[in-house]
Amino acid sequence: MKVAVLGAGRVGSAIAIDLARGDGFEVRVADRDPRNLAPLEDRFGIPGERVDFSLPTTVDRAVRDVDLVVSAVPGFLGFQNLRTVIEAGRNVVDIAFFPEDPFALAELAEEKGVTAMIDCGVAPGMSNLLIGHVDALLDRTEAVSIYVGGLPVERDGLYDYRTVFSPIDVIEEYTRPARLVENGHLVVRPALSDIERLTFPEVGELEAFNTDGLRTLLRTIGAQKMVEKTLRYPGHAEKMCLLRDTGFFSADPFEVNGQEIRPIDFTTALLFPLWRLREGEEDVTVMRIVVEGVMGSQRVRYTYELMDPFDRVTHTTSMARTTAYTATAAVRMLVAGLYAEPGITPLEIIGRDAKCVEYILDDLRDRGIEYRETIVGID
């Protein structure tokens, strides 16, 4: 089974390494930066290919002779790359956090006979799988809440944050309007809005704010109330709001001393070095998923919690682990023949099949990632 992994960042590298560990996969990685490719070939024997993901023709060449593709490119390139992979007739597991509607490619995927599993990360991803699982168990799903964040273990007192996935996608979370469901109706709120405080025993008090993470759930789950919020240490959202509202995240160029510059380019040049996870620093992934609804004559609440640490043995960040290993579990599930429907498939659809859910949870558990389930009756 030949697999091409598009993108060799933290998550793409973790995907390639996991698949190459004796599962019978012949893995190669594509990335435009040779500095990302070299460690994979030198340390793990995974061949790399330089590919410019902005050019569909080069992406097409990279996937033409493989059996399956895993796309781990930055979000702004994700939709275009997914279209190219589908047009090439290759099944694909995708973790790119792109803003476009993935269902716009549904007809193409069905025509090509391609199974395209999208948003196969931690959130969106495992959050969707577990919500879809509970939705299939309940007679009526009433409310869905997702709280998720990747955080540095040690705070620095400045931004109290480190990037544990594509930094430009982090900025996108702070600028893209958040779509929620209230009283059965779609509403749109600014990102970083509706800040609330939650306490997690392992990390203490965190703040949660609106981000646009519901995505396909807005179409596939008929709850009266749904919200997705990102978790950060208290005070982070206020700083991001100040930068955003002052214009530091704007892509509109302006002139400085005769030179045109985009504020977002200036801001990222300053922020990304500060946000980079440094040697010796560790991260933690925190997630809480709450689904409420009716089962028989009783209202019930399902809660799933994840508290995943940095892997000190492999030196793999928690966010890379929890995202990458969801994708590799999906790959193995496809290869095992548990799911084969052509079309665009978010993980909440997979969640309706108990065997698929069990397979993915077991696969993650084998890699030390545990989702704790609690079920209680509510008034």
Residue 174 sits in a domain whose CATH number is 3.30.360.10
Tell me whether residue 208 is in a domain: yes
Tell me: do 39 and 108 sit in the same domain: yes
User: Final residue of a domain: which of 288, 309, 330?
Assistant: 309
pLDDT in tens, 69-83: 999 998 899 999 999
Tell me whether residue 377 is in a domain: no
Tell me: do 102 and 177 sit in the same domain: no
Paired tokens of 175: 């600028």
Tell me whether residue 83 is in a domain: yes
β-bridge pairing 185-189 and 178-182: antiparallel
> For residue 96, which of 125, 63, 73, 116 has the smallest C-alpha distance?
73
- Number of independent structural domains in the chain: 2
User: Final residue of a domain: which of 289, 309, 329?
Assistant: 309
Tell me: do 158 and 298 sit in the same domain: yes
Q: How far is it, in rounded angstroms, from Cα 346 to Cα 355?
A: 16
Of 157-171, 193-207, 332-346, 362-376, where does mean pLDDT reach its minimum? 157-171
Tell me whether residue 379 is in a domain: no
Interior angle at CA 20, CA 283 and CA 113, nearest 5 = 100
Write down the pLDDT at residue 165: 64
| In the predicted structure, residue 170 carries a pLDDT above the cut 90 | no
Tell me whether residue 331 is in a domain: yes
Domain with residue 102: its CATH number is: 3.40.50.720
**φ/ψ (deg, to 5) at 55:** -110, 105
Please compute the mean of the pLDDT values over residues 274-301 and round it to a whole number. Answer: 94
Write down the pLDDT at residue 31: 96
Q: How far is it, in rounded angstroms, from Cα 218 to Cα 208?
A: 20
pTM of the entire structure?
0.94
Tell me: do 302 and 180 sit in the same domain: yes
Tell me: do 156 and 279 sit in the same domain: yes
Bridge partners, residue 44, by sequence: none
Tell me whether residue 267 is in a domain: yes
Q: How far is it, in rounded angstroms, from Cα 52 to Cα 74?
A: 12
Tell me: do 278 and 191 sit in the same domain: yes
pLDDT in tens, 7-59: 999 899 999 999 998 778 999 999 999 999 999 999 999 999 999 999 999 99
Tell me: do 249 and 323 sit in the same domain: no
Bridge partners, residue 26, by sequence: 2
Tell me: do 81 and 199 sit in the same domain: no
The single-letter code of the amino acid at 60 is D
Tell me: do 152 and 260 sit in the same domain: yes
Tell me: do 96 and 208 sit in the same domain: no
Interior angle at CA 310, CA 306 and CA 312, nearest 5 = 140
CA distances from 303 to 109, 150, 232, 288, 317 (A): 34, 19, 20, 7, 25
Tell me whether residue 220 is in a domain: yes
Which residues constitute the domain of residue 347? Answer: 2-121+318-369
Q: Read off the pLDDT band of 287 (50, 70, 90).
A: very high
User: Final residue of a domain: which of 281, 309, 337?
Assistant: 309
β-bridge pairing 115-118 and 343-346: parallel
Q: Where are the alpha helices (DSSP H) in the chain?
A: 10-19, 34-44, 56-63, 75-87, 106-112, 126-137, 167-175, 217-220, 236-246, 263-275, 318-335, 347-350, 354-366
3-state DSSP helix/strand/coil % of the chain, to nearest 5: 35, 30, 35
Tell me: do 144 and 105 sit in the same domain: no
Tell me whether residue 38 is in a domain: yes
- Which residues have C-beta within 8 Å of that of residue 182, sequence separation ≥ 6? 225
Tell me: do 131 and 52 sit in the same domain: no
Write down the pLDDT at residue 240: 96
Q: How far is it, in rounded angstroms, from Cα 321 to Cα 369?
A: 8
Please compute the mean of the pLDDT values over residues 343-348 and round it to a whole number. Answer: 98
Q: What is the DSSP code string of 160-205?
A: ---BSS-HHHHHHHHHSPEEEEETTEEEEE-TT-S-EEEEETTTEE
Write down the pLDDT at residue 379: 83
